[in-house]
Amino acid sequence: MPKSSVFHLKLLGLVIGVSLIVSACSQSTDPLSVEGSAVEASTPPPPLPEGQQTVSFERPVSASTSTGGADDGSAPFYWGIKPGDPLPIMWHDLMPEGAEEELIRQQEEFYRMLEQRYMANTTRLADAANALDSIEEGSELDYMPQFGTFDIVEDLNGELVRIPGYIVPFDFNPQRRHEAFLFVPYMGACIHTPPPPPNQIIYVRADPSVQVKDIWQPYWIEGELKGEEVLNETGDAAYSLTLQTLELYNPF
């Protein structure tokens, strides 16, 4: 299995585990702060469609083997791209060396501290045996930070790229038009599950605005990728992208 697919499965597994003990990271209609400005969410996020699953995005075999190289996911670039064409990348390509290990370390440390805090506040052995499962929704212990770092792959800074993923709007207006949104590697991120690491979130600027009829469908985006810290209540991003093309995802 390609390295990008292995990483994606690991990330999804961690997210599923997290979502079992915490509420969604952004299910209210509170204003969302986007680079210092407030955006009112006119309607609540749509429910996650029953039975719909996240697409596991695959590295294009033709691109990774076009020069006879092994399809081991070790290189962040594809050979044989024509001048002016966007560089097709996968989400693992946005993770610099050591970032995945740091993400796992932060999560393991958080769960250790969470369990210790819960154990210190319980007096029943039955509760202590199921510490994480017994956390009350809305309590002080029922929260989830955004794990990971803002470290980026410097070689991708300023590159014209093409990447598949899911759209997370900042508001859910009836027109479904957006001048900015987050782009993430799996369905429901920041709406029904905690956010991915910052270097797995792309803040997208669209001028003119684009209409997104269905946020549960995967899309391709193309544009210039930059390393930029964009802080907001939905999910902090380590990358930004100036949108050139948005289209429904179809496998290679």
Predicted confidence (pLDDT) per residue in 33-82, tens digit: 334 333 444 567 778 888 888 998 987 664 543 333 344 544 445 566 78
Burial group, residue 126, by CB count within 10 angstroms (0-12, 13-18, 19+):
exposed
Average pLDDT of the residues of the chain: 76
User: Which pLDDT tens digit goes with each residue over 94-151?
Assistant: 999 999 999 999 999 998 988 887 777 665 544 544 555 554 555 554 567 899 999 9
* Prediction pTM value: 0.71
Bigger pLDDT: 205 vs 188: 205
Residue 177 has pLDDT above 80, yes or no: yes
> What sign results for the dihedral spanned by CA atoms 63, 149, 230, 25?
positive
Distance CA 232, CA 135 (A): 27
Matching residue, tokens 């802080």: 231
**β-pair partners for 204:** 181, 241
On the CB side of 51, CA atoms within 13 Å amount to 0
